[in-house]
Amino acid sequence: MTTPATTSLKWGFIGSGKMAGALVRGMIRAGTAEPGSITVSDPLEAARASLAIETGATAAVDNRVVAAASDVIVLAVKPQSMGGVLKELQPLLTNDHLVISIAAGISIDALAAGLGPEARRIVRVMPNTPALLGEGASGYCLGPAARSSDDEIVRSCLDAVGRSFCVPERLLDAVTGLSGSGPAFVYMMIEALSDGGVRVGLPRDIATALAAQTLLGAAKMVLETGLHPGQLKDQVTSPGGTTIAGLHAMERAGIRAGLMDAVQAATNRATELGRG
Ligand SMILES: NC(=O)c1ccc[n+]([C@@H]2O[C@H](COP(=O)([O-])OP(=O)(O)OC[C@H]3O[C@@H](n4cnc5c(N)ncnc54)[C@H](OP(=O)(O)O)[C@@H]3O)[C@@H](O)[C@H]2O)c1
């Protein structure tokens, strides 16, 4: 969602790694921001310079330069680097800045404590790796002092690399368990489907491509038709046919419960790590 209000903003990225790169590229591609309105920093010269050269953004050696140049500051460093970054930015940030953190497991309270009382507009995001290809799924939560217009700003960034959903903070662990860890669950499903294809005689490369394209196609059917997955399943399941035979085998193997358990286990682990 890009509007004149969001395109006139100046964006700063602290950390120029994989996720920051995906967001910067996506925002420029989507017209959310002009390259000249984006500043990126990173202690690693190669990281900040290559992102800047590739995208036309400005590279800054010092995180404080990013803070001074930006309306929206995206904290895109690993969780273990966040303490130092917050300490460095704390004297510079005010309520004129919107701070968006994509670091896993760091709560809005912890961000607010690190940023101090002057910078209260905080958004916490849980993205996932397909954002690198513009097909991400993100959950985000606005902090209590965020303005209603901040929702539009954060979505202009996240929707440039996929789809985003606003949830209460207590559900961000569930987002981590479903869409954060989910790509790995799906990779395992693709691998297993490919193994099945090889078992019935297909060459490995064709089996893997068929499996991955089938998941992509089925996902698009769900998203683009808006039909319930069960309804789509019924549409391809003829009486006494091949698909119902396969579905019966899946039910016997407990695939549904296995996937539900995977989301539950990953969510529980996210909660445990967040407490630590
Ligand atoms: N990748 C994912 O799928 C994913 C999914 C969900 C959430 N996230 C979150 O997204 C954040 C970024 O992940 P990523 O995969 O993009 O990590 P990354 O590729 O390692 O990028 C982080 C970058 O920040 C730099 N950095 C470290 N300390 C800094 C400082 N004080 N000031 C400025 N930059 C600093 C790092 O430099 P050095 O290498 O020199 O330390 C690194 O280049 C993480 O907090 C992660 O939890 C990632």
Q: What is the pLDDT of residue 111?
A: 96
| Domains (range + CATH), the chain | 4-171 (3.40.50.720), 180-275 (1.10.3730.10)
Q: What is the pLDDT of residue 119?
A: 87
Q: Supply the residue whose CA is at minimum distance from atom 28 of ligand 1.
A: 81
CA–CA dist 235, 38 (Å, integer):
47
Q: What is the pLDDT of residue 6?
A: 75
Is the confidence at residue 3, as pLDDT, over 70?
A: no
pLDDT digits (tens, 9 = 90+) for 181-199: 999 999 999 999 999 999 9
Q: Mean per-residue pLDDT for 1-17?
A: 83
> Where does residue 226 fall: left (phi above 0), alpha (psi -120 to 50 degrees), or beta otherwise?
left
Task: Please report which confidence band the pLDDT of residue 61 belongs to, taking 50, 70 and 90 as the band edges.
Answer: very high
Q: What is the pLDDT of residue 231?
A: 98
Find where tokens 């050696």 sit.
61
Is the confidence at residue 39, as pLDDT, over 70?
A: yes
Is the confidence at residue 73, as pLDDT, over 90?
A: yes
CA–CA dist 11, 158 (Å, integer):
13
> 59 C-alpha to center of ligand 1: Å?
16
CB of 18 shorter than 6 A to ligand 1: yes
> 231 C-alpha to center of ligand 1: Å?
41
Torsions phi, psi for 44 (to 5 deg): -85, 115
In the chain the first and final C-alpha atoms are separated, in Å, by 36
| DSSP-assigned states of every residue in 8-62 | T--EEEE--SHHHHHHHHHHHHHTSS-GGGEEEE-SSHHHHHHHHHHH-PEEESS
What residues form DSSP beta bridges with 122? 99
- For the chain, strand residue ranges (E) read 11-14, 38-41, 58-60, 72-75, 98-101, 122-126, 136-142, 162-166
Q: Mean per-residue pLDDT for 239-257?
A: 98
CB of 258 shorter than 6 A to ligand 1: no
Is the confidence at residue 30, as pLDDT, over 70?
A: yes
Q: Mean per-residue pLDDT for 267-272?
A: 94
CB of 43 shorter than 6 A to ligand 1: yes
Report the share of the chain in percent with pLDDT over 70: 98
CB of 106 shorter than 6 A to ligand 1: no
* SS3 category, 158: helix
CB of 42 shorter than 6 A to ligand 1: yes
Task: Please report which confidence band the pLDDT of residue 5 belongs to, taking 50, 70 and 90 as the band edges.
Answer: low
Query: Closest ligand 1 atom, CA of 81?
Result: 28
> 165 C-alpha to center of ligand 1: Å?
22
CB of 76 shorter than 6 A to ligand 1: yes
Is the confidence at residue 252, as pLDDT, over 90?
A: yes
Q: What is the pLDDT of residue 17?
A: 95
Q: Mean per-residue pLDDT for 63-83?
A: 96
- Measured CA angle at 47 (ends 44, 50), to 5 deg: 140
Q: What is the pLDDT of residue 212?
A: 98
CB of 31 shorter than 6 A to ligand 1: no
Q: What is the pLDDT of residue 95?
A: 93
Report the share of the chain in percent with pLDDT over 90: 94
Task: Please report which confidence band the pLDDT of residue 274 belongs to, taking 50, 70 and 90 as the band edges.
Answer: confident
Is the confidence at residue 71, as pLDDT, over 80?
A: yes
Mutate to test the pocket of ligand 1, among 39, 78, 99, 186 (most ligand atoms within 8 A of CB): 78
Query: Closest ligand 1 atom, CA of 104?
Result: 47
Q: What is the pLDDT of residue 2?
A: 60
Is the confidence at residue 67, as pLDDT, over 80?
A: yes
Q: Mean per-residue pLDDT for 78-93?
A: 95
Query: Closest ligand 1 atom, CA of 21?
Result: 16
pLDDT digits (tens, 9 = 90+) for 116-153: 998 899 999 999 999 999 999 999 999 999 999 999 99
> 19 C-alpha to center of ligand 1: Å?
7
| pTM score over 0.75 | yes
Strands ordered across the beta sheet of 136-142:
58-60, 38-41, 11-14, 72-75, 98-101, 122-126, 136-142, 162-166
